[in-house]
Structure 1
Amino acid sequence: MRALPPSKSATLHDVARHAGVSPITASRALGNPSLVSPATIARVQQAVEATGYIPNLLAGGLKSKRSRMVAGIVPALNVSQFLPSVQTLTESLAQEGYQLLLGQTGYDRAREALVLNTMISRQPDGIVFAGLVQDEAVRERVRRTGIPTVEIWDLSRSPVDMLVGFSHPAVGEALAAFFRAKGWSRVGIATADDHRAQQRSHAFAAAFGAPVPIAQVPAPSNLQLGRGALAQLLREAPDLRAVCCSSDQLAHGVMVEALARGLRVPQDLAICGFGNADFSAHLFPSLSTVAVDGADIGRRAAQMVLTRCRGEPVAQPVVDVGFRIVERESTAG
């Protein structure tokens, strides 16, 4: 197949002619690949490369009333616990010809409303929001648009539309029970100040049954903030025996600070994180944590949006994926 001269803008008809298929087949291969064979998709993609064709998504969207775009909104792109969800969400949508447009709120409620309003103005076919939409006025606006919306990584009896997540208070209560079962009485909490981390921390403190010192840091947390959090906790409670952290990144910092002070982990100080980041199993000592199947969350959210885009009802609009405590060396013994 010969490429067209650079001076001529390629059309879908040019792609179809080069691929030896009808224009409607070429359109399906690009916009709804599940309707055509893999061999046809490959031929059409080769034709796209040869002709330099760039689809006019705006024009196509006006005809079909579909933008083929789903808005994905996360607190911050550098928070590792959300990455598996973003990856599987992107892949699952792409298989059906949809693209994910990412925005981040920076853990700021005012910015959350701004990002959501901006995304809505672009008329996405769906919205996937990490967390619960906090602003009631924005929640109502999202409902009125009728855009399929999935809140993820949280749990609520009254979601905006659909939800895939788990209970953060239940995580805090489970961790408190885990610490009590270990026989630790002098424990502390290192936590970020975002809504979900606060839910876990408050539930832990309430369920533990004894005073628990808390070091709070701004979200998103990192290694440096973790080191500072442990320093604060040790000033308040020099005999601290264990620390519950709101993220693996924060726990990593707590571990580094403990080792820098000559404290042995877990013999002198036990540490537990949250999120099961990819590095947590490979630290020395390896980090105990709370695992949530983020990839499954992203996959389920994509399926919900795609089902609604096909005009079909979602059988289970609220899904609790649960969580599990993964014990490793940092709390062993």
Structure 2
Amino acid sequence: MPKKPVRADSSQPGQKATHLTLIDVAKVAGVSPITVSRALSRPELVTERTRQRVMEAVRQTGYVSNMMAGSLASNKSRLVAIFVPTIANSIFADTVQALMDRLTDAGYQTLLGLTGYSPEQEEKLLETILGRRPDGIVLTGTLHTEASRLRLAQSGIPVVESWDLTDDPLDMLVGFSHEQVGQAVARHLLARDYRRFSVITLADPRGLRRCNSLIGELANHGVDEVPVQIMTPPATLKTGRDGLCQLLGQGATPQVVVCSSDTIAQGVLAEAASRGLRVPQDLAVMGFGDLSSAAQVYPALSTVRVDGRMIGEHIAQALLNRFDSVDNVFDPVRIDSGFSIIDRQTT
């Protein structure tokens, strides 16, 4: 039976950590260090049962193998890993572009990973990338598995969580409050005399938080019934069209549909037009993200503007400042990038 897990030290991402070794993992797995090495680098040389014992020990300890050890005299990979949920729509494009541009100018290469809105997929990507010892990691959101948190803490690699706020960040934080977005949208639409609401959102933790916050704020103002259609990622025009079809097919008669992205909102506009519904007279529509297309569709889309480029620039500056720190002493980075409501023709 595997021995009692080695307890991770108290290091946080971005701070120097006492790195675990193959010997530590071997003790937990109940095998020899050479067996651990083989299981990680040449899994075909060990049995499946042994490999699983080793991988479980790796998960318990948060061990990160250094595939780049000894390859760089400076101990710098000059690589930054960026994890985003999807590239199926451009809501994260400005952030990624600004971040990549700034890091490239500073002599860093970037690697893009897609998490599909899944903390478990993020964990798998981290398992792959941490062994290459990137100089920094950028994550979208603040929801991570415990295994991911442990591994990032053990790695000592600077981490920036983006597009969200939390009271308990892993390391650095650049984003905005999704709860405040939901509340602000509710108050804005109530002020425009809308009373029958519905929501079309992806099964995305941040989109769901905005939805729940909006519903909570509406309840505070006496609006208790809000039909919600939860759709499978990614956000596409078809997702929006299907979402409106399902809402109306279930008997919902909203005055306004609040969507978790501009892409979904534009799909709603298309479906509304195909049904002869006038926007905003018969159905008002609110998006999120203020994509470049939002002001160009007809009618022009009301939405929530998030300055993705500014977020990317803040992330890049935070990372570069950390990379340049020579004494490992630095102030915590907690940046609220804010948001604004853009009122156009659809409301």
Q: CA–CA distance in 2 between the matches of 1:62 and 1:112?
A: 27
Instruction: Give 1:175's aligned residue.
Output: 185
2: CA distance, partners of 1:61 / 1:324: 47
Contact 1:291 1:323 in 2 (8 A): yes
Give the corresponding residue for 2:346: 330
Letter paired with 2:288: F
Name the structure 1 match of 2:151.
141
Corresponding residue for 2:253? 239
The answer to whether the Cα contact below 8 Å between 1:61 and 1:68 also exists between their aligned partners in 2 is no
- C-alpha deviations, 1:34-91, integer Å up to 9, x for none? xxxxxxxxxxxxxxxxxxxxxxxx7996111100100011111223111001001001
Contact 1:103 1:115 (8 Å CA) reproduced: yes
Q: Which secondary structure state, in structure 1, belongs to the residue aligned with residue 241 of structure 2?
A: helix
Cα distance in structure 1, aligned partners of 2:268 and 2:336: 30
Match of 2:104 among 94, 98, 117: 94
Structure 1, gaps ≥5 residues long = 1-57
The aligned residue for residue 274 of structure 1 is 288
Which amino acid is the alignment partner of residue 66 of structure 1?
K
Q: Deviations over 1:207-261 (max 9, x none)?
A: 1122100011012111101111111222334432110000000000111111111
More displaced stretch, 108-117 vs 89-98: 108-117
Q: Given that residues 162 and 173 in structure 2 are in contact (C-alpha distance below 8 angstroms), is that contact kept between their aligned partners in structure 1? A: yes
SS, match of residue 284 in structure 1: coil
Unaligned stretches of 5+ in structure 2?
A: 1-67
Matched to 2:169, the amino acid is: P
Q: Does 1:129 align with 2:143?
A: no
Residues 167 and 322, structure 1, Cα contact 8 Å, conserved in 2: yes
Structure 2 residue identity aligned to 1:268: D
- Are residue 114 (structure 1) and residue 124 (structure 2) matched? yes
Tell me whether 1:160 sits opposite 2:170 in the alignment. Answer: yes
Aligned residue among 309, 321, 334 for 1:318: 334
Are residue 151 (structure 1) and residue 161 (structure 2) matched? Answer: yes
| Range that drifts further, 275-284 or 132-141 | 132-141
The answer to whether the 8 Å contact 2:89/2:236 transfers is: no
Give the structure 2 partner of residue 68 of structure 1.
78
Instruction: Determine the C-alpha separation between the residues in 1 that align with 2:195 and 2:343.
Output: 19
The question of whether the paired residues in 1 share the 8 Å contact of 2:164 and 2:176 is answered with yes
2:335 maps to a residue whose letter is V
* Structure 1 residue 139 displacement after superposition: 1.0
1:259 aligns with 2:273: yes
Report Cα offsets for 1:129-162 as digits up to 9, x if no partner: 1112421221121022110100000111111110
Match of 1:32 in 2: none
Preserved contact between residue 133 and residue 139 of structure 1 (Cα < 8 Å): no
Question: In the alignment, residue 282 of structure 1 is paired with which amino acid?
Answer: Q
1:160–1:69 CA distance, 2 compared to 1 (3 A): same
Match for 1:143: what amino acid? Answer: A
**Cα offsets for 1:10-55 (capped at 9, x unmatched):** xxxxxxxxxxxxxxxxxxxxxxxxxxxxxxxxxxxxxxxxxxxxxx
- Preserved CA contact (<8 Å) 1:189 1:212: yes
Of 274-283 and 126-135, more deviation after overlay is shown by 126-135
Match of residue 230, structure 2, among 213, 216, 219: 216
Which of 287, 299, 305 is the aligned partner of 1:285? 299
> CA offset at residue 175 of structure 1?
0.7
1:297 aligns with 2:311: yes
2:40 aligned partner:
none
SS at 1:329 equivalent: coil
For 2:257, what is the secondary structure of its paired residue?
strand
Shift of 1:314: 4.5
| TM superposition score normalised by structure 2 | 0.76
CA contact (8 A) 1:243 1:272 kept: yes
Q: Which whole-Å deviations, capped at 9, do the CAs of 1:148-201 have from their partners, x for residues lacking one?
A: 100000111111110100000110111111111111111100100010000000
On the 8 A contact 2:88/2:235 being kept in 1, the answer is no
What is the root-mean-square deviation in Å for CA atoms of aligned residues? 1.5
Q: Does the C-alpha gap of structure 1 residues 329 and 61 become closer, same or farther in structure 2, counting only changes over 3 Å? A: farther
1:268/1:314 CA distance change after superposition, 3 Å: farther
Q: Tell me what 1:47 maps to.
A: none
Q: State the number of aligned residues.
A: 274
Paired with 1:61 and 1:315, the residues of 2 have a C-alpha distance of: 31
